[in-house]
Amino acid sequence: TLAKPVRKKEKQMAISADLYTTLRDDILNGTITSGSKLTEKVLCDKYGISRTPVREALQKLEIEGLVESIPNRGFFVLGLSKQDYLDMFTLRKVYEIQAITWAIERVTDEEFEELEELYEFMEFYTMKNDMAKMLVINMNFHQMIYTASHNRMLKNLLSSYQEMLKHAESPFADKSDDYLKQVFKEHSAIFEAFRKRDVDAGIAAMTIHMDNSKQRYLEHMK
């Protein structure tokens, strides 16, 4: 007798997660501009869903600071400023360094093999100068590090930063193969640290990679 309510709740949660992802991406890529009002009824009508998943998605966006709820007026888009992105790069660096520290200490043989496979794909698509594939594999490479850290909270936090910052990094899609070669070089140093199980080398390599990522963003914003 409890099966149907449970399935209904799970379905609502899935709808809410999908709507949250859609709205978050649209806010971060500028499709929904800062200052825009997000009305529950309009979203319900647009996506053909009930108020509950809409309300849950908006509340999650508010927790992440992407929208603001104003009493008696509704939800308004805040978006992210250049300073917000710079702050995220700074915070991500701290957590990425902790992640690689734990990952090198805790990585299993199976996880290392997966990381090695991603690294080889990265090398292949760098040679092919395939920016789109590289962006995806780059994210997966870092996700593997988060997994190997064996800390769920750290993985969730870094995954959130990664999702938001991918919109800041996407403008590099028109870069030449020199950009891909530089990024691959940075990941080569990270992988080599894993191969040698050298925590200090891993910290140094990740520090350089994070600093360079931030610098590339600053250069693009000039």
Residues in Cβ contact with 32 at an 8 Å cutoff, skipping those fewer than 6 apart: 23, 26, 38, 77
Helix 177-196 with 131-148: angle, nearest 10 deg = 20
Digits of tens for pLDDT over the chain (222 positions)?
444 554 655 665 677 778 888 898 888 888 888 899 998 898 998 888 888 888 999 999 998 889 999 998 889 998 788 888 899 999 999 999 999 999 999 999 999 999 999 999 999 999 999 988 998 999 999 999 999 999 999 999 999 899 888 877 655 555 555 889 999 999 999 999 999 999 999 999 999 999 999 998 888 776
Q: What is the pTM of this model?
A: 0.80
